[in-house]
């Protein structure tokens, strides 16, 4: 792999970084809505990081002996990041997440060129740029709530009382009104039964008395 291919890869990353910087700053200025403050601050942090990266990548191209692209026309021609801007806050966040992922992939391609060319300096730079863009993309996706979620265990529904099967009552049977244990009641003489002592008992009593 030649140095020329490495510098071409760096030029692409530089163009992507510059266009993304301008877009992120644009969103910082124009975002509105309930999340205004949080997004305003996050976009500012990201475009400041991109601004510093622009100079670092550009100087690496010069260190390798190539001319650095420096006009807006050059950047728009070389970049895979579109300058078309979103209007709503949610679309701004989604757009920046996608753009950062594209730049991370572009840096990964340049990293491969640097590895094959034995260019340790560019390798180190591209590894750091990949990490920065992947982190930015993750933070933006998390803001949208698009991170994958673990499936939650289903909540058991409260048990319903089982229905007691109804049984037919035999004719003439009465349903019990209470399940309490029956209380013992003193037995009463059966109607019509004689309560007089037997004749033999009377005779015995007379003998004993005489």
pLDDT for 107 = 98
- In angstroms, what CA-CA distances link 27 with 16, 31, 182? 16, 5, 86
pLDDT for 14 = 98
Mean pLDDT of the residues in the chain: 81
The 3-state DSSP class for residue 114 equals helix
Question: Domain 3-144: which topology?
Answer: Ferritin (1.20.1260)
Name residues of the chain where pLDDT drops below 50.
147-159, 161-167, 170, 173, 175-195, 197-210
Residue 172 host element (H or E): none
Going from N- to C-terminal start, the domains of the chain cover: 3-144
Residue labelled with tokens 């700053």: 25
CA distance 127 to 187: 103
pLDDT for 2 = 86
The DSSP result for 122-171, as a single string, is HHHHHHHHHHHHHHHHHHHHHHHT-S--PPPPPPPPPPPPPPPPP-PPPT
Q: What is the pLDDT of residues 48-72, one digit of tens each?
A: 999 999 999 999 999 999 999 999 9
pLDDT for 1 = 63
């Amino acid at each position: 792999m030649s140095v020329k291919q490495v510098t071409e890869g760096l030029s692409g990353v530089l163009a992507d970084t510059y266009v993304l910087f301008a877009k992120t700053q644009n969103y910082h200025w124009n975002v509105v809505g309930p999340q205004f403050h949080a997004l305003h601050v996050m976009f500012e942090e990201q475009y400041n990081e991109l601004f510093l990266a622009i100079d670092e990548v550009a100087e690496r191209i010069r260190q390798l002996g190539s001319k650095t692209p420096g006009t807006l026309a050059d950047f728009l021609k070389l970049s895979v990041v579109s300058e078309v801007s979103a209007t709503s806050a949610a679309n701004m966040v989604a757009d920046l997440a996608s753009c950062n992922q594209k730049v991370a992939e572009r840096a990964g391609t340049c990293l491969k060129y640097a590895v094959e060319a034995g260019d340790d300096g560019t390798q180190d730079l591209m590894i750091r740029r990949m990490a920065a863009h992947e982190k930015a993309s993750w933070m933006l996706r998390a803001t949208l709530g698009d991170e994958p979620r673990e499936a939650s265990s289903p909540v058991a529904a409260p048990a319903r009382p089982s229905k007691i099967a109804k049984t037919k009552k035999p004719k003439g049977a009465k349903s019990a009104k209470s399940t309490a244990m029956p209380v013992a009641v003193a037995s009463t003489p059966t109607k019509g039964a004689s309560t007089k002592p037997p004749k033999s008992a009377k005779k015995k009593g007379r003998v004993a008395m005489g």
